Amino acid sequence: MVVPYEGQSFSALRRQCQQNGVLFEDTLFPTSDQSLFYQSNRIGRITWKRPKDLCSNPQLFVDGISAHDLHQGQLGNCWFVAACSSLASREALWQKVIPDWKSQEWDHEKPESYAGIFHFRFWRFGEWVDVVIDDQLPTANGELVYCHSNDSNEFWSALVEKAYAKMCGCYEALDGGNTADALVDFTGGVSEPMDLVEKGFKDDNEKRNELFERVLKVHNRGGLISCSIRATTAADMEAKLDCGLVKGHAYAVTDVRRVRLGHGLLAYFRSDKLTMIRMRNPWGEREWNGPWSDSSEEWKKVSKSERENIGVTVQDDGEFWMTFDDFIANFTDLILCRLINTSYLSFHKTWEESVMRGSWHHNGDPLVNRTGGCVNNKHSFLQNPQYVFDVKKPEDEILICLQQKDRRATLREGRGQNLAIGFDIHRVELNRTYRMHVNQEKVGGSTYINSRSVFVRIDLKEGRYVIIPTTFDPGHEGEFLLRIFTDVPSDCKELSLDQPPTTCWTGLCGYPTLVTQVHIVRATGLAGQDSGGVSDPYVIMRCEGQKVRSPVQKDTRNPVFDSKGLFYRKKARKPISIKIYNHNLLMDSFLGQVSLPAEQGDFQQTLHLRGRGEGRDSDLPGTLTVAVVTSTVLTNI
C-alpha cells in the first residue's frame, strides 16, 4: 500500500497542470529559505531554477543509472549520497523509489506534456509514502547547490534529494544523518549497524571469514551495504588519511566477491580466491591508494578477463577495490541493510514478519502509564508496553527492529531530537498471557541510542518471550514500530491486561486469589526408552484445568527443562501435578509424575518420581527438581 504524502496525488496534480498548461509549483515545499534551512540562510543568495533553465536537453537519466551519477554538494549528507550510490546498483530497488520512471522522463517530442512535477517513494514507519515535488532546484552562480550528477543534464539524483528533503522538513535536515536510516527508507528492509573494532574482527581470522560470508550473502540477496571510519573528534571529521580514505565519511559498498587469481585456464582450477570488497566515495574522488587500488601492481595477478568481469577501472572516480582483510583493518563501522524475504515463492530463506505499532504514553493514570524508562528505573520499568512472542523451533535466529517516529522533520518546532530508545528481551512462562509485574530472565536486548531505530540479531531457544521497548529516561512520549522476524510464525501480540478480567460468571465461579509460578528445573535418572538408554522427555504441568507443556529434550536421561508455567488459582489447596513423558513417533510413553505440596510460599525441592495414576503405584527411578513461587497478591502493579 502506498500513502500520498500530505494527501498530494501525483496523477491528479499532473493532470490539472497539463489541462491548464502550467508548470507545477509545490506550495507545501515553496521556493524559499524555509525549504532550505531551519532558521537562517547559511549559504548566501539562492536562485531556484528548473532543469530546462540549466541545460537545453534535461533528462532524468543519461545512459541509465549508476553510483557515478551522485556527487555530494554543500550539505553534510554523505550518508544520504552513499545510500543513493548503493541504491543505484539495484534496479529492482531504485525502480521502487523512482516509480514509473519512463513516464516521468522528459518527452522532447511532446514538450506540452511536461508539467514540471515528479514523485518518489520512501518507506517510512511501516508504509511506502509517495512524495510529490516540483522540479525547481536551488542554485548558486548557475550551479546546483546540493547533490548533482557527472552529466550536467542528468537530474534524478537532485530530484530524489529534494523529495527526501521535503519529507524530512527541509534540506538542512539532511545535514548530518544516519546511513542506516536512508537504506531502510529506500528498501523497507532492516539495518544492522556493526562495530568492527569492538567485535574484534581484526584479530580473529575465523570471525573475519564468517563476517565476509554474511556480507557476501546480504549483497548477493539484493541488500544494501555502507561503511565508514569513525571520527572521534571534530577535527577528525573528513580528515584524509595517508591511505587515501576519509574519516567520518560514509562509503557505499558497490560489490562483494571472491576474485580468482592467476591467468589462463590454470586459474579456473585453482582453489584460492581473494575475498574482495568494492566501495565508492560520495565525493566522486579520493580513493584508497593501498594494495589492490586502481593502478596497483597487484592487479597483474588477475587475468584481463577477470578484471573486465569485475569492472576494474583506472580513474579517479571515487570507486575502488580492496581486500576484505584491509577493509577490516581500516574501517570501523559497517551497516548491513537486509531485504527481508517474506515470499513463499522464493529459493532463499523466507522470514515470518510480525509488525506491532505502539506508543509510549502517559495519561495521568499510574495503572496505564506506558513511559517507564529503561530497567534502571526499577519502579516504573515494567509499566512500559510489553509484547509476547513464541520461538517454536529448538533454536531460531530472531531479528528484532525497534523504530521510533522520526522527529527530524519537526526540528523547527523544537521537537527534533530523537529519543534514546532500546528494548529488553525476557524469557517467561510458557503460558503467559498477562503483563509481567516482576522481572524475569533477561536473555538479550539492544543498546540505548538516540537513533531512529535499534536492531538486534539473536539466537533463542524454544519458548515464550516478552519484548519490552522503552525510552532510556522515563516520562518521554512517542510512537514506535516493532518488527520481529522469525523462521516460523511467532504469534506476536501485545500484553494489554494486567490480570484475568472479571466477568458476569466471576461471582458464581470464583476469581483467582493466588498466582503461582512453577519452574521445572531438571530431571535426573529417567528410565531409558531405547537401546542407548536415553529418552526424549517433556513435562506437562496441570492445575485447575490449565495445562502447560514444555519443549521436548532430545536424547537424554538427565534433561535440563528450565521451563516455567503460570497458574492463576481459585483453590489454594488444589495440587499441581507434573507428569513426564517420552516423545515417541506413534504414542508417547509415561515416565513418572510428582504432585506438588499445596502449601503457599516459595520453595525449591528435588522430588522422587512416582507411577501412580498411569497404571503403576510404585516409586520410579529418577528425580525432578522444581522451584515454586506463589504470590498471595494477584499482581503487583
Per-residue pLDDT reduced to its tens digit, 360-370: 998 777 667 89
pLDDT, position 428 = 97
pLDDT, position 537 = 94
| Residue range 555-567, pLDDT digits in tens | 999 999 999 999 9
Residue among 127, 121, 205 nearest 163 (CA):
121
Q: How far apart are CA 455 and CA 422, in angstroms?
A: 9
pLDDT, position 509 = 80
Best mean pLDDT range from 280-294, 362-376, 574-588, 614-628:
574-588
Find the range with the poorest average confidence among 217-221, 348-352, 450-454, 614-618. Answer: 614-618
Q: How does the average pLDDT of the chain come out, rounded?
A: 88
Angle between helix 179-187 and helix 78-88 axes, rounded to 10 deg? 40
Find the range with the poorest average confidence among 54-58, 159-163, 325-329, 584-588. Answer: 584-588
Find the range with the poorest average confidence among 45-59, 136-150, 362-376. Answer: 362-376
Give residue 30's pLDDT band: very low, low, confident or very high (50, 70, 90).
Answer: very high
Cβ atoms 310, 193 nearer than 8 A: no
pLDDT, position 636 = 44
- The grid coordinates of residue 181 equal 536510516
**C-alpha pair distances (Å), 199 with each of 115, 202, 450:** 52, 9, 21
Cβ atoms 88, 80 nearer than 8 A: no
Cβ atoms 30, 37 nearer than 8 A: no
Q: Which residues lie closer than 8 Å to 412 by C-beta, 6 or more apart? A: 38, 39, 169, 170
More confident residue, 617 or 392: 392
Q: How far apart are CA 186 and CA 184, in angstroms?
A: 5
Cβ atoms 46, 69 nearer than 8 A: no
Give residue 617's pLDDT band: very low, low, confident or very high (50, 70, 90).
Answer: low
CB atoms closer than 10 angstroms to residue 536: 17
More confident residue, 633 or 53: 53
Best mean pLDDT range from 165-169, 491-495, 541-545:
491-495
Give residue 269's pLDDT band: very low, low, confident or very high (50, 70, 90).
Answer: low
pLDDT, position 313 = 65
pLDDT, position 565 = 96
Long-range contacts of 361-367 (CB under 8 A, 24+ apart): 361/477, 362/475, 362/477, 367/498, 367/637
pLDDT, position 266 = 55
**DSSP letters spanning 422-490:** EEEEEEE-TT--S---S--EEEEEPPPBSSSEEEEEEEEEEEEEEEEEEESSTT--EEEEEEEEESS--
Q: What residues are annotated to the active site? A: 78, 249, 281
Find the range with the poorest average confidence among 229-233, 336-340, 422-426, 431-435. Answer: 229-233
Best mean pLDDT range from 199-203, 464-468, 629-633:
464-468
Q: How far apart are CA 450 and CA 475, in angstroms?
A: 16
pLDDT, position 412 = 61
Find the range with the poorest average confidence among 74-83, 134-143, 245-254, 277-286. Answer: 277-286
CB atoms closer than 10 angstroms to residue 115: 20
Cα end-to-end span (Å), the chain:
40
More confident residue, 286 or 461: 461
pLDDT, position 598 = 67
- The grid coordinates of residue 207 equal 570471525
pLDDT, position 434 = 95
pLDDT, position 458 = 96
**Are β-strands 224-228 and 251-260 bridged in parallel, bridged antiparallel, or unpaired?**
antiparallel
Section 519-547 average pLDDT:
86
Q: What share of the chain is helix, strand, coil (3-state, %, to 5)?
A: 20, 35, 45
Give residue 409's pLDDT band: very low, low, confident or very high (50, 70, 90).
Answer: low
Longest dimension (CA), the chain: 97
